[in-house]
């Protein structure tokens, strides 16, 4: 299990997809969507991490000191995920707003009942 991080993200993605596809309640679909998004964020964060690596700040002021890249974790994927977290928060915000409007209009969040109400 040397690459358990990949297994974790794959399992989480499948859980998320299942939630989005199979659940009837829109709120549960939203939770599935969130799990799906956070799984990808975990994936990105794990690819930047290194065993025994430290934060990417060079502590020494001596310009001739040797700096080995292997000692520092890769900050770029982590920075990318800051953006992705903001994206995820925004998605959740819009989704909750939509759910409130849907609940006010249909008095339910069950997908089949909403479809039935729309068919009328």
Partner 1 sequence: MNTEHFPALIVVVPLLLSFVVFAVGLVRRSLCLPIVILTLLACLGFAIGILQSVLTKGGTVRYYLGAWDPPWGIEYAVDHLNALVLLSIAVVSLLVAIHSRSVTAKEIPASKHGPFYTLLLLQVTGLFGMTITGDVFNLYVLLEIASFSAYAIIGMGEGGAPFAAFRYMIFGTIGACAYLLGIGYLYILTGSLNMADLRQLLVPLYESRVLLVGFAFIMVGIAIKMALFPVHTWLPDSYTLAPSAVSALLAPLFTKVGVYVLLRFLFTVFDPSFSSQMFPVLKVLGGVATIGIIFASIMALAQTDLKRMLCYLIVAEIGYIVVGVACANRVGLIGAILHTVNDIFMMACLFTVAGSITAYRGSRNIELFRGLHRTMPVTLAVFVAGALSVVGVPPFCGFFSKWYLVLGTIHAGQWVYLGVLLAGSLLNAVLFFRVLEKAYFELRDESGHAEPHGRKRPLIDRIPLTELGPMVVLALLLIFLGLFSNNIIGDVIEHAIPQTMRIH
Closest separation in Å from C-beta 68 to partner 1: 17
Distance CA 53, CA 59 (A): 14
What counts of helices (H) and strands (E) characterise the chain?
4, 0
DSSP 8-state symbol, 2: T
Query: What is the closest distance, in whole angstroms, from the C-beta atom of residue 64 to partner 1 in the complex?
Result: 24
Q: How far is the CB of 43 from partner 1 (least distance, A)?
A: 6
Q: Using the minimum distance from each CB to partner 1, give the nearer residue, 4 or 61.
A: 4
Please say which residue, 64 or 83, places its beta carbon nearer to partner 1.
83
- The 3-state DSSP class for residue 21 equals helix
CB 23 within 8 A of CB 29: yes
Which positions lie near partner 1, rule CB under 8 A? 17, 20, 26, 29, 33, 36-37, 40, 43-44, 47, 77, 80, 83-84, 87, 90-91, 94-95, 97-99, 101-102, 105-106, 114, 118
Cβ-based nearer residue to partner 1, 58 or 93 = 93
Look up residue 65 and give its DSSP letter: S
Residue 32 to residue 85: CA distance in whole angstroms:
16
CB of 105 to partner 1, least distance (A): 7
């Amino acid at each position: 299990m040397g690459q358990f991080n990949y297994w974790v993200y794959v399992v989480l993605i499948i859980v998320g997809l299942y939630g989005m596809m199979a659940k009837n309640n829109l709120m549960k679909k939203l939770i599935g969507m969130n799990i799906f998004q956070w799984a990808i964020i975990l994936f990105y964060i794990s690819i930047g991490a290194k065993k025994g690596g430290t934060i990417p700040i060079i502590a020494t002021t001596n310009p001739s000191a040797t700096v080995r890249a292997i000692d520092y974790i890769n900050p770029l994927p982590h920075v990318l995920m800051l953006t992705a977290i903001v994206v995820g928060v925004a998605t959740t915000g819009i989704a909750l707003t939509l759910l409130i409007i849907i609940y006010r209009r249909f008095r339910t969040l069950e997908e089949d009942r909403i479809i039935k109400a729309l068919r009328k």
